[in-house]
Every structure is written in structure tokens, then in C-alpha cells.
């Protein structure tokens, strides 16, 4: 798991992109799925992406089902661990979240969509 940044600014996003590029060297395309936050729209980020064509950004619309699934998982994490916990510091909270994600990843279960187009 990577670092958690306190502020979602373009500087932190560029740091993340540079780390991605460094940790996954070569010519393999890297597809980056992002939400609609504005950090990827900053001119410096756009310039970096122009120079690094193998990083292919995909912006997920705010109303997408994928995003709803992520929000649901974050909600479960909040209910099961964050609201029930007591944290002395941000670092303590981050440690708890990391532990929870590690436990979840030991036995991951796929989410099966049950809604049909007709039911919407």
C-alpha cells in the first residue's frame, strides 16, 4: 500500500504518478482509473501525462456503478472499523485502515451485481 496524503493536491498526485512510473518500469501501458477530482486537470499533471504516454488515464463519472461499489466498500470499512475505533493520531487511523484492507485481501470475495437493466 502506498502513502496516504493529507491533501489531494496536484503535487501529491504528481508524486504518485512518478512513483507509479518508477515502480512499474518498461513499456507496459498503465491504465489509471480516477474519480472526477480536479487534481488530474492541473496543467503540470497534464504535461506529465503528455510526456508519459504509457500512463493512460480513465476518468470515472460521478454517477458510475464502479464508483458506487468503491464507496460501498469504504462505507463498510467506516462502519466496521473506523466508527468502532478510537484513534490517538492520523497515523493510528491509517494503520487500522491498512490492517483492515490487508485482512480483506487475504480472502477477497467478488461482488456480484444482481440488478438488471430492466429493474433500474
Indicate if the pLDDT at residue 120 is higher than 60: no
pLDDT tens sequence across 29-55: 998 888 767 778 899 999 999 999 999
Instruction: Give the model's pLDDT for residue 119.
Output: 64
pLDDT of residue 85: 83
**Assigned C-alpha cell, 81:** 472499523
Q: What is the pLDDT of residue 2?
A: 57
User: Helices then strands (H, E): number in the chain?
Assistant: 4, 2
Report the C-alpha gap between 34 and 41 in whole angstroms: 11
Tell me: pLDDT of 66 over 80: no
Provide the residue ranges of all domains of the chain, joining segments of one domain with +: 10-59
Q: Is 17 exposed, middle or buried (0-12, 13-18, 19+ CB in 10 A)?
A: buried
Torsion of CA 84, 86, 92, 94, to 10 degrees: 30
Spatial contact of 45 and 16, defined as CB atoms under 8 Å apart: no
SS3 74: helix
**Confidence class for position 18, pLDDT limits 50, 70, 90:** very high
Q: What is the pTM of this model?
A: 0.54
**Residue pair 100/81 in contact by the 8 Å Cβ criterion:** yes
Q: What is the mean pLDDT of the chain?
A: 82
Amino acid at each position: 500500500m502506498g502513502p496516504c496524503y493529507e491533501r489531494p493536491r496536484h503535487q501529491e498526485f504528481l508524486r504518485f504518478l512518478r512513483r507509479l512510473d518508477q515502480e512499474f518500469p518498461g513499456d507496459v501501458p498503465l491504465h489509471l482509473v480516477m474519480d472526477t477530482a480536479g487534481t488530474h486537470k492541473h496543467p503540470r499533471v497534464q504535461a506529465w501525462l503528455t510526456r508519459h504516454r504509457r500512463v493512460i488515464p480513465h476518468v470515472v463519472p460521478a454517477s458510475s456503478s464502479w464508483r458506487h461499489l468503491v464507496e460501498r466498500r469504504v462505507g463498510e470499512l467506516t462502519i466496521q472499523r473506523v466508527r468502532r475505533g478510537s484513534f490517538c493520531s492520523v497515523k493510528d487511523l491509517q494503520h487500522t485502515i491498512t490492517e483492515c484492507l490487508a485482512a480483506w485481501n487475504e480472502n477477497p470475495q467478488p461482488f456480484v451485481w444482481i440488478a438488471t437493466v430492466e429493474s433500474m
